[in-house]
Amino acid sequence: MLVAKRGGGGGRIAESVKARTRRASLLRNDDYKALLEFSSVSDIAVYLGKSVYASVLNGFALETMRRSDLEFLLGASILAEGVAFRHYTGLNDKKLLDLWLEYFDIMLFKNHFRYKLGTVEWDRRLAADRSDSVLDMVADYHLTLVDKDKLFSGSTLKDIIMSVKDDELRTALFEAVPGRENVSATESSEFQKAGFNMGMILERYYFNNLYAAVAGFGGIEGRLLRMLVGTRVDLMNIYWIYRARRFFNMSPEEALTLIIKARYHADFNLLTKVAFAEPSAVPAALSGTPYAGVFDVDSGDTVMGNTALREVEIECNIYRFLFAVAERVFLSGSIGFQNVAAYLILKELEIRDIVAITEAVRYEFDKNKTNLLLVRPLGKVD
């Protein structure tokens, strides 16, 4: 765990000023409206290539860019921006930033798992290309969760898991795939099951460690960091339980095994109440908490007029809640790493919106309905 003792006031001011400057560079409503008007993914790519995203899109053939490639490059831009903050942070904040960016180690692990063991050839090639692209794009990024050489040279599931540096995490991953350690390829169903099980373990590990780290910061900085990370942990735990019960027919007891151990406002009693409620009764189980409205999309008509899309609405509500929390950090006017963390969350959510728009354009979805499912809705765009 990071210690609460802080130093280097100049570094804290510098990182806060940098975060506020970067926040001002986020896309504006007019940019969103322009993106919604385009008729092709390549048009969107060209537009973004002239924006703040030029640094990650420069050198690529934007006029012929595929949706999946554009989405990948946009996602990798968060890593590039996160690494850039290392020049403005003090020692403790560098440690926390490195921990925050370990999520990209997890992405790389999952990517290489698909590359080595996936049964669909195009997916294997894509995963390999993307792994190399990330590391080429962000030369200053150093993996901390996995050993890059072991990960890239591994040819079996055991080899890939052995690239994980943490002994406890490595053991948990092996336990998730009993009897499959030496396979060099997997059947589709086994591949998906192994990927899901390992993905859940990695997510829990990451957020448990991240919340434990921010707990070591004191004062308003610590309070705001716990709010940023803790709110996300709460919402993920509730949503995982909801999905496990609704879509996978898990018992309440089984659903509770999925949750992250860290606790913020949603303590174990509340999570147990959610788990034992019917999915349609989750909003009632959350009554009196900040999260009740997030899951209340079953009453009356849905925003989209289509009950099949209620899960998309719930996810959108979750992202909007996180957006509001990140904005509150900047409105506090305080200095500290919470500004860096809040900016990275806002950037992540902006990219989520761009991805939603590119998918809508690709599949010719109604732009006003797409607009209603953006984290930052714009009202009627016609």
| Listed residue (145, 154, 150) closest to 163, CA to CA | 150
* Backbone φ and ψ of 164, nearest 5°: -75, 130
- What does pTM read for this prediction? 0.89
pLDDT at 32 over 80: yes
pLDDT digits (tens, 9 = 90+) for 192-251: 777 888 888 999 999 999 999 999 899 999 999 999 999 999 999 999 999 999 888 889
| Listed residue (35, 117, 137, 120) closest to 77, CA to CA | 137
Average pLDDT of 88-99?
A: 90
pLDDT at 5 over 50: no
Query: What is residue 4's predicted lDDT score, i.e. its pLDDT?
Result: 40
- Count of beta carbons in the 10 Å neighbourhood of residue 114: 20
Cα gap 256→125, rounded to integer Å: 36
Cα gap 216→257, rounded to integer Å: 26
In contact, 349 and 318? CB cutoff 8 Å: no
Q: Percent of the chain scored above 90 by pLDDT? A: 54
pLDDT at 74 over 60: yes
pLDDT digits (tens, 9 = 90+) for 323-337: 999 999 999 999 999
pLDDT at 305 over 60: no
Query: What is residue 6's predicted lDDT score, i.e. its pLDDT?
Result: 47
pLDDT at 368 over 70: yes
Average pLDDT of 256-277?
A: 95
pLDDT at 381 over 60: no
* Cβ-based neighbours of 279, under 8 Å, separated by 6 or more: 242, 245, 246
pLDDT at 366 over 90: no
* Backbone φ and ψ of 344, nearest 5°: -60, -35
Query: What is residue 7's predicted lDDT score, i.e. its pLDDT?
Result: 47
